[in-house]
Amino acid sequence: MSRVVVTGIGIISSIGNNLEETHNSLIKKKTGISGIDILDTKHRGEFLVGEIKLTHEELIKLAKVDKSQAWTRTALLGIIAAKQAMADSKIENETNLALVSASTVGGMDRSELYYKDFLTEAKNHRFIDSHHAGNSTEMIAEQCGIGGLITTISTACSSSLNSIMFGARLIRSGNTSCAVVGGTDALSRFTLNGFNTLMILDKGHCRPFDATRTGLNLGEGAAYLVLEEYESAIASGKKIYAEVSGYANANDAFHQTASSEDGDGPYLAMKNALDIAQLKPSDISYINVHGTGTDNNDLTEGKALIRLFAKDLPPFSSTKAYTGHTLGAAGVIESVISIISLNNKIAPPNINFKNVIEEIGIKPTNELIELEKPDHVLTNSFGFGGNDSSVIFSAVKQVIPESVMASSLTDIPVYIVGLGCVSPQDTVSRDTFLEDIMEVDSTFLQIQKPNYRDYIDPKQLRRMSKIVRMGIVSAKEAMKDAGIDNPDAIITGTGMGCQIDTEKFLNSMIDNDEGLLTPTSFIQSTHNTVGGSIALGNHNHNYNLTYVHRTFSFESALLDSMMLLNEKKANELLLGGFDEITDESWLIKTKIGHYKTEKITGDLFKDDQIGARAGEGSSFFVLSDKKTDNAYAKVLGVEMFFRPESAKAVQDKITIFLSKHELLVEDIDLVILGNNGDTEFDRNYQELEQSILKESNTINYKHLCGEYDTSSAFATWMAARIIKENKIPVSFGAKSNPSQLIGKVLIYNHFRNINHSLILLSK
């Protein structure tokens, strides 16, 4: 397996607009926490935050972008940091360069300003599509000339540490040789008021790991690292900051927001990262702890530290008293600080600390100290949904023990051995397979509600939003189908997550002028709520990630799943894709022509309204490295490509993708296409059917489920059943009677000619 090293760093936060300024602030104990000057909120003067003192216009100038475009603050911060990292690594416009970004708020800083306008006149409609968490990633890719795989992770406050881990694994698995990884989040009224409802904001300066701590200070910022394969970096004479030697993700499976008493998730994340790096606790020189300054986090993280390190506990500190808690960007910002620590042989101080927490009796370093053996540093990030991650950065050594390099990846088969689906059709029942298409008497397609009480405790049911319910039902059906009780990992994709909860909190915040708010809908608004809820219900402490990049969301989760099985870190895992439609989200998307405004009368594909018919659904799969008697299909591959230059480029992508699996187009028995009734963009599919797919058997699927970001999960569910049963449902008409075995199925989907994906299954 390839070694992965850091060759470029970019950062902007409240303590500096670049790496040098950040380093200087750390050694001078200069905090970035102050009053609110930029964010327009009624809480100015009430709370302290780690705010970057640059206006929207000043950030546009610093990012060197066209001021006429619709920029969110999140995207601008990300562009600034990513450009720095690429310049530092001396790379530009590399076609195979991957981008793995992270965000929790996405474009909320603009959405909360214009949300009521979006619902009415939509004068600011150009900001509607920038709400999506994947928007900032795409803006970074376009501004930095990144042409390889791109995706976005959102696992609350552990998001960007997970992006580093995923990027490192992409390189180690050979999926790319170089990746820009990190995250970006801007301050917003949504998060400020959300954390205020949880009563965990400190109105003064936060005091991580201090007995008198009363909460956190929010912050904003962005940071990105350039990761490269070690041999390539050496050959090109790159400066190497550190090696990414260990990483792990685990789930606390205790509570949606609070940590367990003994810190099971944090303990497992740190322990498993050490195992990956093949290090002992005594090898770690310094720990940059998550250390939020909240009562629960610092106590349980401290217990986890003692549990793992015992007498070998090295110097540790939280640097959130410098930057504030930067949410999805926290992991990578603190990774940069950890790399500064490693390269300068220092441990930055835990400023504001005075009193030891009596229950744990451990003291963070509150002065700048020189490290005795600066070989390995560890950093932690923990988030809502019990999502806990740790990464280890090591000083690069030319020779490393053979035992570390002994492991290797093998191209093992990946099987679908269980599935469950909640959709606008009757898909929960296993007695039928799309034989009778449900009549639609609305402008968009909504799920056929299962009897939730058959799956979920009624007392818990009352507190769950629709998307959590349908996610749990389809996940339980998949596990029941596979005959497993608890998977080795839970990997999910969602474009928008819990939209109902986001809308509830956003509307309440605006209508009540940031007052009279309750925390429930804020807590459930995080994108990883479904994955976290499944883990919580199953007491599952294993790997748990959520991808949120528009129509790459499910595909990214599928790629991660295949990698995890190949890494032999799982034998049976749970994979899912889900999204919900609401009246408000449908209405808003009609304002920019994404969704149709009127009911469909007759054939969807002959409807001449602008846009697609919106839909929703949740499809889950159990994937295994072993074929079972219940196996539905074998997953051969998945590929994503962003903004192809032409129809010919799409054709080339398909033929190259198939050739990687030693296949030609004519070897494919069935092609499932993502036509959605938008005549402007359905032309892409029609051109394929008139060219390389001219002799192919093709069917569509979105007339059954509608258009939503993870609809390809529904197509995968459909393809798996078609392969196993060797039957195309009669509802598909003339093309439903294959004359031969359906051995190989290709799924091709795109949305508005931006994000394109391919999934290949075989018998």
Question: With b meaning 16 or more CB within 10 Å and e meaning fewer, what string describes 723-740?
Answer: bbeeebbeebeeeeeeee
- For residue 260, give the nearest of 216, 304, 210, 194 by alpha carbon: 304
Q: Which helix (H) or strand (E) is 225 found in, with range?
A: strand 221-229
First-to-last C-alpha distance (Å) of the chain: 30
Cα atoms found within 13 Å of the Cα of residue 756, Cβ hemisphere only: 23
CA distance to 24, 212, 259, 293, 612, per residue, from 217 (Å): 21, 15, 19, 8, 42
**Radius of gyration from C-alpha coordinates of the chain:** 25
Tokens 């890494």 belong to which residue? Answer: 567
Cα atoms found within 13 Å of the Cα of residue 155, Cβ hemisphere only: 34
Separation of alpha carbons 707 and 487, rounded Å: 29
Among 23, 132, 144, 157, the one annotated catalytic:
157
Q: How many CB atoms lie within 10 A of CB 175?
A: 18
The most distant pair of C-alpha atoms in the chain lies apart, rounded to whole Å, by 77
CB 319 within 8 Å of CB 411: no
Q: Is 43 one of the annotated active-site residues of the chain?
A: no
Phi-psi region of 456 (alpha: psi -120 to 50; beta: other; left: phi over 0): beta
3-state helix, strand, coil in the chain (%, to 5): 40, 20, 40
Among 132, 325, 541, 750, the one annotated catalytic:
325
Q: Is 157 one of the annotated active-site residues of the chain?
A: yes
Tokens 């439903």 belong to which residue? Answer: 736
Q: What is the DSSP letter of 503?
A: H
Looking only at the bridges linking them, the beta strands covering 755-762 and 744-751 are antiparallel
- For residue 380, give the nearest of 426, 319, 457, 456 by alpha carbon: 319
Among 23, 131, 132, 290, the one annotated catalytic:
290
Q: Which helix (H) or strand (E) is 547 found in, with range?
A: strand 543-547
Q: Which helix (H) or strand (E) is 652 found in, with range?
A: helix 647-660
Q: Is 290 one of the annotated active-site residues of the chain?
A: yes
Active-site residues, by number, are 157, 290, 325
